[in-house]
Amino acid sequence: PLLNPGTYQLKFRHPDHYDISLRGNQVTDGQTLNLPTTRMKAGTVLNGIARLGGRPKGQVKVTISTIPEPMDPNQPPNDFAMQLAFSAECYSNEKGQFAFTQRVPPGRYHVMAGRQDASNILMQIADFSSTKKEIVLSGQKKFFVQFDIPQSGN
């Protein structure tokens, strides 16, 4: 009774699972909306190490983002239950170790790393370009990624 009529998207979040979303939920005044049972899945814990010139490096920015799958023109989109495109970032500690706080859903991703240098933002762009990797996650409990940033330009 406290929701205004309209279309809503519900997002479910839990630290031991990846986020899921239910889209296209039409709320109508005076009617009850019954949602399907939705099961959250564990996803993958993604961590690793970042090195610069072979040595562990702190304060390296690590990013991950979904590689979009091509749309099938013969298949209508499913607006009711949908996994959102995933992206996240984290930073390495003084030992070069990093870990994403969110669990990652199955899919294809680009991951990349770049050192933080306020005086030269182009260095981070070059690092991202040289470290970019494609990974495929298919429900593994853990996945380890190693980045080796070339020392040049430092």
- Using CA atoms, how far residue 53 sits from 59, 64, 121, 152, in Å, is 15, 22, 19, 8
Average pLDDT value for the chain:
87
pLDDT of residue 154: 47
Residue 27 and residue 5 in contact, taking contact as beta carbons nearer than 8 Å: yes
For residues 73 and 44, which has the higher predicted lDDT (pLDDT)? 44
Give the closest residue to 147 by CA, choosing from 107, 108, 97. 97
Determine the average pLDDT of the residues in 148-152: 87
Q: What is the pLDDT of residues 10-36, one digit of tens each?
A: 888 888 898 888 888 899 998 888 888
Structural element, H or E, at residue 52: strand 45-52
Q: How far apart are CA 36 and CA 117, in angstroms?
A: 48
Q: What is the pLDDT of residues 73-90, one digit of tens each?
A: 666 555 433 445 789 999
Place of tokens 């240098």: 117
